[in-house]
C-alpha cells in the first residue's frame, strides 16, 4: 500500500500518476497524515514551490522541490514527486514524467500552437524529461495521425460492434469476455439483441457519413461462419457502406479461424482483419492459455491470404511470462516472414481484472530495463519490415511505463485506431460492455453512453440499453 498525503491540496491524480511511474501495480490510498507503516508520499505547496517528501514507516527518507511555473500547480507537484522518486531509483523512465494514454496528443497540441515538429519534441524533453527517442516517436506518430485524420468526413461517424465471447480467457486479459463453451446456447439470443441495437443506431446514423466499422471483442471469430454471415449481413442491410473507408474484423485467435469464417468476413465487406498471435513461441502460448500453436498461426495467416485478405494486422505482446530478448527476436523474425500490412506491439499491462495480476505479483524495475531492450528489438524489426509507427497509446499498470505502438505500411494505417485514440469523432457502439462516444468537434466535449457488461443482462435489458442511447443522443 502506498499512502498519499495531499497536504493542503487535492491534486491526487498528479501525485498518484507520478508515483505509479516508479511503483506500478500498487494500491494507493489518500490519507490525512504521515502513516506509521508502509510508504507515505507527502506533497504540499510552499509559496511558489511544490514540495514532495517520502516517508517509510513514518521516518523521513528524502524530499524534493519544484518551481510553480506557467504549467501550473499540478505540474509542479507532479514534478516534485517525480524528481524525488527518480533520485531514489536506479531506473530513468524513458517517457520521464509524461503520463496519460495519448502521448502524441501533446505533440499535436504543440504543433497546433505553431511549434515545429523539432520544437515540439524539444518541449516534451524539457517539460516532461522524456528521452529524445520517445519525444521523436511521439512527434512522428502525431504527424502520421494528422494526415490520417484529414480523411475524416466533416459529418463522419464510426461504428464499433462488440462480440464478448472467447474460447478461453488468456492470462493477461481484462476485457469483457465470456467462455464460449458456457455461453454457446446464448450466442444467437445475443445476436438478436445486438442486431436490435444496431437497427436503432442505424436510424441515428441516417444523414451521417459512416467512415469506419470495427467488429471487436472478445473474439468475433468465436461465432460460427453462419453467425458471422448473419451479423455482417445485418450491418450491411442497416448501414450505408457506400462511402466506408475501412471495415475491420478482429479474427483474433487462430484457434477460432476457419476458411469458411474468413470467406464470410470477406464476403461481408470487411477489408481488414486482425490475426493476433501475441507471441511466436510455443512455450509462452501454453503459459498464457492460448489453445493453438505457432504452426496454427502460420496456417490461418496463409488461409487468409488465399481467401483474398490483403490487409492483415497482427498483435504482439512484449513482457509475457518467461520471455526475454531471444524470444522477442524470434517472434519478430517469424512475423517478418509472414509480412503483414499492420503490426501492433503492446507492452504487457498487469491489469487488476486479469489472472496475471491475481497469480504473478508485481514486476520490478529490473524487468522494466529488459522491457526497454525488447521494445527496441520490436521497433527495429517493424521498421525493417517497411512498417512505420502511426498510432500509439499507453495504459495504466504498463510494465516500465512504456507504450503500445501501431505500425503499418504506407496506405494501410487504420483510421479507426487513430480516431478512437485521439477522440476526434463520434463512435456508435453496440454490444455488451460497449461504450458509445459522442464527440462535439466544436466544443471538444465528449459524452459516453455505456452498455452493461454482463451478457445475460445485455440480452434481458436490450430495450433499456437502446433507451439510454435514445435519451443521450
* Shared-domain flag, residues 327 and 455: yes
Evaluate the CA torsion angle 372, 377, 383, 386 in order and state its sign: negative
Query: At residue 250, does pLDDT exceed 50?
Result: yes
Non-local CB neighbours of 47 within 8 Å, separated by 6+ positions: none
Query: Are the C-beta atoms of 379 and 351 separated by less than 8 Å?
Result: no
Q: What is the per-residue pLDDT for 288?
A: 83
As a whole number, the mean pLDDT across the chain is 92
Q: Is residue 168 part of a domain?
A: yes
Domains: count for the chain: 3
Query: Are the C-beta atoms of 161 and 201 separated by less than 8 Å?
Result: no
CATH number assigned to the domain comprising residue 22? 3.30.160
Give the residue carrying C-alpha cell 526475454: 324
Q: Would you place residue 168 in the very low, low, confident or very high pLDDT band (cuts 50, 70, 90)?
A: low
Pick the closest to residue 32 from 24, 21, 40, 22 (CA basis): 40
* Shared-domain flag, residues 135 and 267: no
* Shared-domain flag, residues 228 and 190: yes
Q: What is the per-residue pLDDT for 395?
A: 75
Give the residue carrying C-alpha cell 486482425: 274
* Shared-domain flag, residues 129 and 182: no
Pairwise pLDDT comparison (102 vs 313), residue with the higher score: 313
Q: Is residue 240 part of a domain?
A: yes
What integer is the mean pLDDT of 121-127?
A: 96
* Shared-domain flag, residues 225 and 308: yes
Q: Quick count: other Cβ atoms within 10 Å of Cβ 93?
A: 25
What integer is the mean pLDDT of 288-313?
A: 94
Lowest model confidence (mean pLDDT) among 20-24, 79-83, 346-350, 364-368: 364-368
- Taking CA atoms, 3 is separated from 10, 159, 300, 399, 422, in Å, by 14, 42, 49, 21, 33
**Cis bond before residue 218 (omega within 30° of 0):** yes
N- to C-terminal Cα separation, the chain = 41
Query: Are the C-beta atoms of 208 and 156 separated by less than 8 Å?
Result: yes
Strand 426-430 to 404-408 pairing: unpaired
What integer is the mean pLDDT of 224-245?
A: 97
Q: What is the per-residue pLDDT for 397?
A: 61
Q: What is the per-residue pLDDT for 358?
A: 44
* Shared-domain flag, residues 187 and 245: yes
Give the global pTM: 0.90
Q: What are residue 246's DSSP bridge partners?
A: 212
DSSP state of 195: H
Q: Is residue 471 part of a domain?
A: no
Range of the domain at 20: 2-88
Task: Give the DSSP letter string of 297-332.
Answer: HHHHHHHHHHHT---EEEEEEES-TT--HHHHHHHH
- The pLDDT tens digits for 136-153 are 999 999 999 999 999 999
- The pLDDT tens digits for 398-429 are 666 789 999 999 999 999 999 998 889 999 99
Pick the closest to residue 272 from 252, 246, 253 (CA basis): 246
Pick the closest to residue 273 from 207, 228, 330 (CA basis): 228
Task: Give the DSSP letter string of 324-381.
Answer: -HHHHHHHHHHHHHH--SEEEEEEPB--TTSHHHHHH----HHHHHHHHHHHHHHHHH
* Shared-domain flag, residues 240 and 331: yes
- The pLDDT tens digits for 211-224 are 999 999 889 999 99
- The pLDDT tens digits for 351-390 are 444 444 444 444 444 477 788 899 999 999 999 999 999 9
Q: What is the per-residue pLDDT for 81?
A: 98
* Shared-domain flag, residues 248 and 362: yes
Q: Is residue 94 part of a domain?
A: no
- The pLDDT tens digits for 12-24 are 999 999 998 888 7
Q: What is the per-residue pLDDT for 132?
A: 97
- The pLDDT tens digits for 174-200 are 555 567 878 899 999 999 999 999 999
* Shared-domain flag, residues 345 and 263: yes
Percent of the chain past pLDDT 90, that is, above it, reads 79
Q: Is residue 196 part of a domain?
A: yes
Q: What is the per-residue pLDDT for 399?
A: 64
Query: At residue 255, does pLDDT exceed 80?
Result: yes
* Shared-domain flag, residues 183 and 144: no
Amino acid at each position: 500500500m502506498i499512502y498519499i498525503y495531499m497536504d493542503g491540496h487535492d491534486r491526487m491524480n498528479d501525485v498518484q500518476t507520478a508515483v505509479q511511474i516508479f511503483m506500478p501495480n500498487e494500491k494507493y490510498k489518500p490519507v490525512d497524515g504521515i502513516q506509521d507503516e508502509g510508504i507515505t508520499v507527502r506533497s504540499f505547496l510552499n509559496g511558489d514551490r511544490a514540495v514532495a517528501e517520502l516517508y517509510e514507516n513514518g521516518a523521513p527518507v528524502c524530499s524534493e522541490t519544484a518551481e510553480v511555473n506557467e504549467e501550473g500547480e499540478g505540474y509542479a507537484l507532479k514534478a516534485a514527486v517525480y524528481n524525488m522518486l527518480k533520485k531514489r531509483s536506479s531506473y530513468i523512465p524513458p517517457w520521464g514524467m509524461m503520463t496519460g494514454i495519448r502521448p502524441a496528443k501533446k505533440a499535436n497540441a504543440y504543433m497546433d500552437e505553431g511549434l515545429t515538429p523539432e520544437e515540439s519534441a524539444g518541449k516534451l524533453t524539457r517539460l516532461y524529461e522524456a528521452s529524445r527517442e520517445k519525444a521523436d516517436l511521439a512527434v512522428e506518430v502525431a504527424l502520421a495521425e494528422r494526415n490520417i485524420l484529414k480523411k475524416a468526413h466533416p459529418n463522419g461517424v464510426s461504428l464499433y460492434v462488440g462480440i464478448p465471447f472467447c474460447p478461453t480467457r488468456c492470462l493477461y486479459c481484462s476485457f469483457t469476455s465470456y467462455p464460449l463453451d458456457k455461453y454457446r446456447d446464448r450466442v444467437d439470443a445475443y445476436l438478436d439483441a445486438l442486431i436490435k441495437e444496431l437497427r436503432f443506431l442505424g436510424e441515428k446514423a441516417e444523414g451521417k457519413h459512416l467512415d469506419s466499422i470495427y467488429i471487436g471483442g472478445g473474439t468475433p471469430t468465436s461465432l460460427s461462419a453462419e453467425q458471422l454471415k448473419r451479423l455482417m449481413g445485418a450491418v450491411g442491410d442497416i448501414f450505408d457502406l457506400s462511402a466506408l473507408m475501412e471495415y475491420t474484423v478482429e479474427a483474433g485467435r487462430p484457434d477460432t479461424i476457419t476458411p469458411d469464417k474468413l470467406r464470410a468476413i470477406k464476403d461481408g465487406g470487411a477489408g481488414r482483419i486482425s490475426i493476433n498471435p501475441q507471441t511466436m513461441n510455443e512455450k509462452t502460448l501454453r503459459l498464457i492459455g492460448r489453445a493453438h500453436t505457432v504452426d496454427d498461426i502460420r496456417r490461418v495467416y496463409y488461409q487468409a491470404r488465399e481467401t483474398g485478405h490483403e490487409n492483415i494486422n497482427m498483435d504482439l505482446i512484449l513482457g509475457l511470462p518467461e520471455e526475454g530478448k531471444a524470444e522477442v527476436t524470434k517472434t519478430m523474425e517469424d512475423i517478418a516472414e509472414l509480412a503483414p500490412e499492420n503490426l501492433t506491439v503492446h507492452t504487457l499491462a498487469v491489469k487488476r481484472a486479469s489472472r496475471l495480476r491475481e497469480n504473478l505479483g508485481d514486476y520490478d524495475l529490473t524487468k522494466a530495463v529488459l522491457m526497454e531492450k525488447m521494445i527496441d528489438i520490436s521497433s527495429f524489426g517493424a521498421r525493417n519490415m517497411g512498417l512505420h509507427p502511426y498510432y500509439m497509446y499507453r495504459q495504466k499498470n504498463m510494465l516500465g511505463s512504456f507504450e503500445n505502438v501501431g505500425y503499418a505500411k504506407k496506405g494501410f494505417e487504420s483510421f479507426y485506431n487513430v480516431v478512437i485514440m485521439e477522440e476526434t469523432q463520434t463512435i456508435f457502439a453496440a454490444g455488451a460492455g460497449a461504450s458509445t462516444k459522442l464527440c462535439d468537434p466544436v466544443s471538444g466535449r465528449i459524452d459516453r453512453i455505456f452498455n452493461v457488461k454482463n451478457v445475460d443482462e445485455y440480452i434481458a435489458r436490450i430495450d433499456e440499453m437502446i433507451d439510454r442511447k435514445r435519451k443521450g443522443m
